Amino acid sequence: MEYQHLLYQVDKHIAYITINRASALNALNQQTLTELEATLLEAKKDHDVKGIIITGAGEKAFVAGADIKEFVDLSEAEAKLLSQKGHYIFTELIEQSPKPVIAAINGFALGGGLELALACHMRFASANAKLGLPEVSLGLLPGYGGTQRLTQLVGRGRALQMILTADMISAEEGLRIGLINEVLDAADLMDRVVEVLERIFSRSGTAVAAAIDAVNASNEQTRDGYQVEINHFAELFVTSDFKEGVDAFLTKRKPNF
Q: Is the pLDDT of residue 222 over 80?
A: yes
Distances (CA, A) of 6 to 9, 103, 153, 246: 10, 15, 28, 42
The average pLDDT across 173-196 equals 98
- Encoded amino acid at 58, one letter: G
Beta strands in the chain (DSSP E): 6-11, 14-19, 51-56, 61-64, 101-105, 108-110, 122-126, 130-132, 169-170, 182-184
Q: What is the model's pTM?
A: 0.96
The catalytic position among 78, 135, 198, 220 is: 135
Q: What pLDDT score was predicted for residue 66? A: 87
Cα dihedral value 22, 27, 32, 33, nearest 10: 150
The average pLDDT across 64-72 equals 89
Catalytic residue list contains 70: no
Give which of 87, 112, 109, 91 is closest to 174, Cα–Cα: 109
Which pLDDT tens digit goes with each residue over 19-37? 999 999 999 999 999 999 9
> At 170, is the secondary structure helix, strand, or coil?
strand
Distances (CA, A) of 142 to 92, 101, 135, 162, 188: 18, 21, 6, 11, 30
- Encoded amino acid at 85, one letter: K
% of the chain at pLDDT higher than 70: 100
Which pLDDT tens digit goes with each residue over 115-172? 999 999 999 999 999 999 999 999 999 999 999 999 999 999 999 999 999 999 999 9
Q: Is the pLDDT of residue 67 over 90?
A: no
The catalytic position among 115, 173, 198, 229 is: 115
Catalytic residue list contains 92: no
Q: Is the pLDDT of residue 103 over 80?
A: yes
Q: What pLDDT score was predicted for residue 172? A: 98
